[in-house]
Each structure stands twice: as C-alpha cells, then as structure tokens.
Structure 1
Amino acid sequence: MSPRRRVLYDEQEESGKDFMVMGWKSLDRSRLIINNCLLFPFIYCRPVEFSEVEYPEVENQRRPQFWDPIRLALFTLAIAAIIGIAIGIVTHFVVADDKSFYYLASFKVTNIKYKEKYGIRTSREFAERSHQIERMMSRIFRRFTRGHRFIKSHVVNLSPSEDGVNVLMVLMFRYPSTDNAERIKKRIEKLLYTSLNTNQLPLTINKQSFRITPLDSKKMRNLLNSRCGIRMTSSNMPLPASSSTERIMKGSKIAMEGEWPWQASLQLIGAGHQCGASLISNTWLLTAAHCFQRNKDPSQWIVTFGASVKPPAVKRSVGEIIIHENYHKDTNENDIALIQLTTQVEYSNIVQRVCLPDSSIKLPPKTSVFVTGFGSIVDDGPTQNKLRQARVETISNDVCNRKDVYDGMITSGMLCAGFMEGKVDACKGDSGGPLVYPDNRDIWYLVGIVSWGQSCGLPNKPGVYTRVAQYRDWIASKIGM
C-alpha cells in the first residue's frame, strides 16, 4: 500500500471510533452500511459518505445505447446488401429479357458529293465516309438512349443522288422484349428529328428523305451478308475486334464459333487437314500456292468451315484450283492460289466472307493483326482440331530484310508479322490461312496469307505472309473481284 493510502486509513480509524461503536449498538441502521463500515472503514464510516446524493449515481448508471456506431454501421451494411441483391435480381431478369431490334434507315446527305469509289465497298473512300456516318449516328443515339440501348450501325450502301449521296444503313438496338418495333421506331424518329433540328451535325441530312423500316433478324442478316468482314454472335449482334486475343505458337486461346467465320480447313481426302484458307465470296477462297505441291487435283480436296475440323459446321467439295503462274517454291514468291467450291455456301454467323483490302492499303509497323489456324502449337507438333488465334504485329520489310533476320529474302509481295523476340507465330498446318486486320469500324480485311518462316516462334524469325493487297489485280483477273 502506498504511503499516502496508509495515512488516509489511519485518519479514518481515529476520527471514526465513536461512530463505529454507535453503528454496532443501533439496530435501526442498514445491514449494508454496517457491513460496509466493518469491511471498508476508511470509505464508508464517515457520515458524509452516506448522503442521499451519492446513491442515484451508483444505482442508476446510464445504459449503453443500442444504436452505438458499430451496430449502426452493421445495420447499414445489411440494408445495403439486401438492396443490392434485390437490384441485382431485378436487373438480371430485365437484362436477360432484352431483345434485339433492327431497322433499315435510308436518307439523303446533301452537303457532300458522290464519288465513284463509294461504289466499291472495300475502297478507302467508302470506308472513311461510312465511318463518318456511323460515328454520327452513334453520337446521336448514345446521347439520348442512355448509351446501352443503341448497339451499332452499319452503312450498307452509298449511291449517287442529284444533290448529294443516298445512304442505306442498318441500326441495331437492345430493348426489353415487352417493347414492340413500332413503338421503338417512333422513339428513334423523334430522336433523329430532334438532332437534325440542332444543326450541329457534320453532315446535312434532308429530313423529308428519312425513312426507317423495322427488320427481322433474317432480313437484317441478309442485308449484312452483302457486306464483307462482319462478325456476328449467335444472337445476331456484332462481335467487336477487342474480343480477339492470344493463340497459336505457344499460345492456348481457342476461338469460339463464329469468331473467324471466313476461316476454312483445306483437307486432302484420306490425309486430313493440310492448310488453311479464307472465304472471299460464296464460291471462292484464297490460300497459299505451296499447299498444292503434293496434289493439284481438285477432286482430291474438300473444304470445311467452323471452329473445329471435326465435326465441321459446313463441308464443300473443290471444283477448281488456280495457282499463281509465277509461283516459285525456292524463293516463296507469289505464294497465292484460288479455290472454287463446287457448291456455294450460305452466309451465316458461322460462315462469312472476309474483305479484300484496297491495293493502296498501308499498314505501318507495329499494327495489330490477327492470325488464325488449325496448325501446331509447338514446332513439329500435331495439327489441332480446334481453331486457334493470335495477335501479332506487322514488321517493316526493311527490318525483316536485315542480315540477322531474313537477309534480303523479303520481296514487295511479302509481309512480315510477329514479334522480334519470337514466341507468338503461325506454325505447321497454318499455311494458307488468314492474317486479318480490323479497321475502325470493326470491318475485317485479309491483309496476308500464311506463307513461310524459319521454324516457329524463333527470335528474329517472324512469320512471312503473302501481301494480299499486292495481288488485287491478279485476283480480279481470275474471278472478277
């Protein structure tokens, strides 16, 4: 006990003797006081210690509040969780019940003049003007339909008019299935007319020329079938370029059905998959000339479509094979060939043609392009049943012709793509397949045909492709495209 405590005890003991005796003799005192006095004389035996004022402070202590900060926070979190779950359930059913709506829009643009190249859908002029129109429509509808209702637009045709250009395009929206096409059509028309009245659009549209017609999915698909290079999901919605990722040499990504609808498997009867090929019309495909060194007889070949070799989604016999007259197997020059099917294919989400690039197309170095195929994923490995994909980058011919790369073997009709560090590359069995590039409208162009390379995925040995733009005149001379 500390010295200070001892002094206090002694003072209480001396001054409280009489009170202690009186406490024992008086029977009217509370047993509680007597006991406390006996046990704790230095605290309870002074008369002032038992004043009435002290008891309420001891007996009526303040109870803790139920809504203290911790309980309040937990209660708030619980309520928020319940609300979040409820919103999620409602959103799930609302979104799951959304439906695609398609419309054919036609109108006249009066502040531009028609150019002859607008009639060629793969031309740079058509692509640039279409992109301007589609971008304008996107700004209009994303601003007024909370963004997610408008999906995409595609210009189908540009035709001449006396005072401008006639535009035909498809508009795609997502609305609850409880809506109907006519009601949505009225909303679209109202939004368009409101926008046209602002006079802030880059193109001047004649209001009286505007017509909007609802389309079912089949008619919409038929219209877009007239366009090359468009990928669609199973729900007839466009598949953006950003969905495509890694694959082939030392990759593992398998393409989903319809992701590369122009990819074909070229198979020799009795020997299976030999090469890839790309559909460029409903009867013609492009591939590599070196695929036919072993056998040039069309009757011995078949072509299949789909994301797997077996079972194929579509199968066709080959009617004709056209190999470039100046193909040289020693130098790999002019490594290009055409294949004609005996029976045309029907375009669908699984089978679609790729666009041929304009002869003037220029892809700067490090442009992202994509290669696909059923070839090996390791050097000298087996071919694959499932279609695989890879993103690679274009490499300039100057770099590719360096002494430590291909030492001058790359000609103007060739295109290098891959990575100088190697690893990602086409490989055995990918020959003849497509190297494709998406423009800013998600329209895909066949810029290369898998041709040759030293081994697969080696450093300083990128893949070499036939440069398709260099052969546009040759293709046109053979099949009129």
Structure 2
Amino acid sequence: MKALPFTIYPACHTSRCKSSIFQKHSRSVDGLFQTGSGTHLGYEGYNLWGLQGAQQSARRHRDFEPWKILLIILGASIAAAIAIGLFVYFIHFPQDRKYDQRLTYFSGNFKIMGVQYNPALSRQSSDRFREAGNWIEKLMYETFHNSILRPKYRGSRLVKVSPDTGGVIAQVVLMFLFSSTDNTALRMAVDKILQERLKIYPGSARINLPSSTLTGKCLETWFPVALEQGCPTGRSGFTDMSKEMAEKLFSDFCGLRYNRSTVSPRITGGVEISGSGEWPWQASLMRNNIHRCGATLISNTWLVSAAHCFKDSSNPRLWTVSFGTYLTPSLLIRPVKTIIVHEKYRYPAHEYDIAVLQLAKRVEFTNAVHRVCLPDASERIPYNIDAVITGWGAMSDDGETPNVLQEATVKLIDSNTCNRKEVYNGAITPGMICAGYLEGGVDSCQGDSGGPLVTPDTRNMWYLVGIVSWGDECAKPNKPGVYTRVTYFRDWITKYTGL
C-alpha cells in the first residue's frame, strides 16, 4: 500500500461530521431524526493584574485622596482572595487528579412518545437507526453541555430501540469522567439534569420521564486514563463492572474502533498502525502460512473478500484467517470452513469480484477483533469524501510486504470520471467504485486485494463501502484503485450469510 498520513475525524457533533458518509441522506420525521452538530466551546483566559506599590513618605501619604486609598485597599483584597482561592484549589485538586479519573457509564431507558416503531430500527447499521442515534445523542449532548456536568460529560450512544405502547423505548448509554474527589451529589446530578432539561424539550417527539429509568454503572473502558481500581464503594446506584463486561456491552455495535492511537509514525510509502484494534475488522487470508489477501470481518463467523484471491484454489482446508495488527505473530488464527465465490465471477475478468468465507470456529468480539458495518443495498454513497484503505500489501509496485498493518486515506471518485478515456476508458461497471487520486501517489497494491475500503458515518461507525479488487499497477496518475461496490452486492451477501 502506498499511502499518505491519515487523520481520523472525530465522531460526534462537530463540523467535520458534515463530510462523512450518509450525512446528506438522512430523513427527518417531525424533527425527531435530525442530524445536528454541536460546538465545543473553548476556555477563556483571564489576565490577573497586580498592583505595584512603592515606599512613600508620610507627607505624600497625607496627600493621597480618599478614593485612591480605597482603590488600593480594594485591589489588595481582590489579589488576596485570588491567591487564597488558587491555594485551596491546588490543595484539594492536585495536578495529578487526571490520573484518578474513571469513566462512569449510566444506562438509561427512555420512553419516546409520538414515534412509530419501524423494523429497520432493530438494525444498528440501518438508516433509521442512524437517524434515531443522531437525534437522541445530539439531545443528550445539548442537555449536559449546558449544565454543571459539562466538563465531566464524555458522550452518549444509542444502544437499542424497542417498540412500546404509544412510542418506542430507547436504551442509551451516557458516559462521564469522574474522579475520586467528585462527591455523590455531583454524580446524582445526572438524573436531576435529565429530569429538568428533557421535560422542557420543545420537539414534537416527547420523552415520557415517568416511564424512563436511569441506572449508573462504573466500569473500565478503552479510554486512555488510569484505571487500576474499581468504583468508589458506598455510592448509591453504582456497582462495579469488569472490563470484560464493558466490552460485552458494546460488542453488539458494528464499526466501532476502540484503540485509536493519536500518532502513527510514517514508514516508507505508508502509515504504520501503532496499536492493536485500530482497524479490528481487518483480517489476513493465509495459504501455507503466507499472507495472500485481505478480508473483512462482518460477523462472528463470516468474512467478505475478493473472488480473485481464490483463483488458484478455493479449497477451504488450505486457508486460514489471521487477525491482529501484525502478520507474525498473529493475535488470533481461525481455520476456514466454507468459501463461496460469486457464481458469475470468471478470472481474469473484474466483474463480480466478491467472495464470502465462513470460519470453522466463531470469534468472540473484543477491542482488537470486531465486525464492520454493512450498508443497506439502497444506500447512496456520496463521492469526493474521504475513505480509508488498510492492508498488508506492498508499499510500492512489486515492493516488499510489510509485517505491520498499513492505512491510507483516499477520495471516492465518481464512475463518470473513472470511465474517462485517460483513466479506465469505460471499464468501470455498476458493481465497481473507484477510490484514490487522479494525480496518483496513494493507492492499494499487491497483497491488499480483498481488504476493506471503509468510511465513517456521523456517529463514527465505520461502514464497508468497497473491497480491494484491481487497478493499473499502483498509485499511477489517472489510475486510481478499483473496488467491488458493496451496496451492489449487498443482497448477494445476505443470500449466503443471512446478514
């Protein structure tokens, strides 16, 4: 893979969300499912001005006017008060307090009136669920952003939507960063703020507070804070929850990236992944313990890849699937039970370049091994947005294969542009999508075949939009990468996997 550095966009309620996939295609239902963006306000700085005095003679003191003496006394009193306040602050809130912070989760069931349940709400990757998530997560953001808990609030996540009389029940997880110095009253303010703010919500969809419940749970998480002990004991409404239970809570979510590093070092021709779980759905297809192609995990037992990866052999007994950032040593290895190549694929043609694989033994989702989201067949993918390709492919044409997973950012290119004479001269069919740059320089390469082309939605859930398929060498001008279009084959994937 030949690549340039890639910057991950933040997930929630920022202006960067406007460029993400699906954002322009949300429907509005009486103001309920509206995509909105919040603004994180900065901190204001204050200049503290001191008063400088000088020794004066007794005669000069007698010449001072009364208002000047009063001003000096007032200034001195203010300076003394500020000094005392700073002293108390640093005594009670030491500088290492950030290492004492623990992420506290509140699980709430909110009764939303005036909303008709749709079966699509049962799937977290559906357009309906995404709209519901955007609406309620924006509502939670606005509720706590304008409260005393604003510095503590870390976000929310819609977990599940269930039908109920007169509306729906939305299960929502709220996240706060509390330290041991935060008293019980501050923690219990969560419920009070919700009660006060939500009952004055002006939208047509109403939250029935008497039918809503909120419980607090403290648990370890993937956030980069020190978490060596459990929750403080003796706090009403809080119970300890292990890291394993926390991961299980979010295991139902597709497309979540848990271990996102803040810095990835450049290596020759690409960006090296610095930690496990950066792209947890990425897998390696190995034959005779040698990396042959990439694949993408779409459930506990199923992966999707390119059909041309199996042109030499589709015997599942010859293949294994490896997970993790490194090819060797692998984090996890599974044998393959079934390989299904699209029935219309004919090598060396590029059409219908898709296959699905079933594992002989299921994988349990963790921070480092997790499934990607699959878009609906009807989803319209906008062009000229950022997408990410990952894999262990060569970093230059006919170059070496890296041992560490690589990533690169590319632009989705419309088919009309890609079919121009100087590009691919009409070779791009409806089942294909182009991604890269017409000026070249960034592309997938040998060994990346079958791997994922993904892009995030407004909630930072990552969707598989393409499968690395073919191209004219690597990173050449006017020769972007060509990928199998997932939405075109979405029904075919369902037919054989049930997903």
Question: What is the TM-score with the length of structure 2 in the denominator?
Answer: 0.74
2:369 is aligned to: 351
Q: Does 1:232 align with 2:235?
A: no
Q: Does 1:261 align with 2:280?
A: yes
Q: CA deviation at 1:152?
A: 2.0
Give CA deviations for 1:318-356 in whole Å, capped at 9, x if unaligned. Answer: 111111101122321111111111111111100110010
Return the alpha-carbon distance in structure 1 between the equivalents of residues 317 and 348 of structure 2.
Answer: 27
Return the alpha-carbon distance in structure 2 between the equivalents of residues 164 and 357 of structure 1.
Answer: 26
Return the alpha-carbon distance in structure 2 between the equivalents of residues 205 and 219 of structure 1.
Answer: 29
| Corresponding letter in the other structure for 1:437 | T
Measured at CA, do residues 432 and 148 of structure 1 come closer, stay the same or move farther in structure 2, by a change above 3 Å?
farther
Mean Cα displacement is larger for which, 141-150 or 119-128? 141-150
* Large movers: runs of 4+ above 4 Å: 86-92, 182-185, 243-249
| Corresponding letter in the other structure for 1:285 | L
SS in 1 for 2:447: coil
Return the alpha-carbon distance in structure 1 between the equivalents of residues 138 and 325 of structure 2.
Answer: 32
Q: Does 1:149 align with 2:152?
A: yes
Return the alpha-carbon distance in structure 2 between the equivalents of residues 126 and 248 of structure 1.
Answer: 39
Q: Does 1:284 align with 2:287?
A: no
Return the alpha-carbon distance in structure 2 between the equivalents of residues 464 and 437 of structure 1.
Answer: 16
Q: CA deviation at 1:296?
A: 1.4
Measured at CA, do residues 296 and 346 of structure 1 come closer, stay the same or move farther in structure 2, by a change above 3 Å?
same
1:110 is aligned to: 113
Measured at CA, do residues 322 and 185 of structure 1 come closer, stay the same or move farther in structure 2, by a change above 3 Å?
farther
Q: CA deviation at 1:93?
A: 0.9
> Identity rate of aligned residues, in percent?
42
Q: CA deviation at 1:160?
A: 1.2
SS in 1 for 2:207: coil
1:48 is aligned to: none
1:52 is aligned to: none
Q: CA deviation at 1:184?
A: 6.0
Measured at CA, do residues 255 and 427 of structure 1 come closer, stay the same or move farther in structure 2, by a change above 3 Å?
farther
Q: 2:97 is matched with which residue: 94, 97, 111? A: 94
Measured at CA, do residues 89 and 461 of structure 1 come closer, stay the same or move farther in structure 2, by a change above 3 Å?
farther
Return the alpha-carbon distance in structure 1 between the equivalents of residues 422 and 92 of structure 2.
Answer: 60
Taking the TM superposition and a 5 Å limit, the aligned residue runs for 1:39-438 are 92-179=95-182, 186-200=188-202, 203-215=205-217, 216=241, 217-233=243-259, 239=260, 250-270=269-289, 272-438=290-456
Measured at CA, do residues 224 and 330 of structure 1 come closer, stay the same or move farther in structure 2, by a change above 3 Å?
same
Rg larger for: 1
Contact 2:271–2:408 (8 Å) recurs in 1: no
| Corresponding letter in the other structure for 2:141 | S
Return the alpha-carbon distance in structure 2 between the equivalents of residues 313 and 90 of structure 1.
Answer: 41
Mean Cα displacement is larger for which, 348-357 or 220-229? 220-229
Return the alpha-carbon distance in structure 2 between the equivalents of residues 94 and 202 of structure 1.
Answer: 42
Contact 2:106–2:214 (8 Å) recurs in 1: yes
Mean Cα displacement is larger for which, 442-451 or 112-121? 112-121
Give CA deviations for 1:226-247 in whole Å, capped at 9, x if unaligned. Answer: 12111113xxxxx59xx69898
Measured at CA, do residues 255 and 322 of structure 1 come closer, stay the same or move farther in structure 2, by a change above 3 Å?
farther
Q: CA deviation at 1:162?
A: 1.5
Give CA deviations for 1:136-155 in whole Å, capped at 9, x if unaligned. Answer: 11111222245342212111
Measured at CA, do residues 100 and 113 of structure 1 come closer, stay the same or move farther in structure 2, by a change above 3 Å?
same
Q: CA deviation at 1:112?
A: 1.9
Measured at CA, do residues 345 and 92 of structure 1 come closer, stay the same or move farther in structure 2, by a change above 3 Å?
farther
Measured at CA, do residues 219 and 141 of structure 1 come closer, stay the same or move farther in structure 2, by a change above 3 Å?
farther
1:462 is aligned to: 480
SS in 2 for 1:354: coil
Name the count of aligned residue pairs.
392
SS in 2 for 1:209: strand
- Backbone CA RMSD of aligned residues: 2.7
Return the alpha-carbon distance in structure 1 between the equivalents of residues 267 and 374 of structure 2.
Answer: 23
Q: CA deviation at 1:414?
A: 0.4
Return the alpha-carbon distance in structure 2 between the equivalents of residues 89 and 421 of structure 1.
Answer: 57
2:10 is aligned to: none
1:19 is aligned to: none
Please, which runs of 5 or more residues in structure 1 have no aligned partner? 1-75, 234-238
2:5 is aligned to: none
Return the alpha-carbon distance in structure 1 between the equivalents of residues 314 and 263 of structure 2.
Answer: 34
Give CA deviations for 1:388-432 in whole Å, capped at 9, x if unaligned. Answer: 111111000010011100011111010100111110111111111
Q: CA deviation at 1:305?
A: 0.9
Give CA deviations for 1:89-116 in whole Å, capped at 9, x if unaligned. Answer: 9664111111111121101100322122
Q: CA deviation at 1:373?
A: 0.5
Return the alpha-carbon distance in structure 2 between the equivalents of residues 246 and 431 of structure 1.
Answer: 24
Contact 2:284–2:323 (8 Å) recurs in 1: yes
Measured at CA, do residues 287 and 204 of structure 1 come closer, stay the same or move farther in structure 2, by a change above 3 Å?
same
Contact 1:256–1:307 (8 Å) recurs in 2: yes
Contact 2:282–2:390 (8 Å) recurs in 1: yes
Q: CA deviation at 1:255?
A: 4.7
SS in 2 for 1:186: helix
Measured at CA, do residues 344 and 91 of structure 1 come closer, stay the same or move farther in structure 2, by a change above 3 Å?
farther
SS in 2 for 1:208: strand
2:4 is aligned to: none
Return the alpha-carbon distance in structure 2 between the equivalents of residues 461 and 90 of structure 1.
Answer: 58
Give CA deviations for 1:70-93 in whole Å, capped at 9, x if unaligned. Answer: xxxxxx9xxx9xx89x96996641
| Corresponding letter in the other structure for 2:171 | L
1:69 is aligned to: none
Contact 1:248–1:427 (8 Å) recurs in 2: no
2:220 is aligned to: none
Give CA deviations for 1:206-265 in whole Å, capped at 9, x if unaligned. Answer: 0112212233343332122112111113xxxxx59xx69898983234353111000011
Point out which structure has higher relative CO (alpha carbons under 8 A, 6+ apart): 2
Return the alpha-carbon distance in structure 1 between the equivalents of residues 117 and 263 of structure 2.
Answer: 35
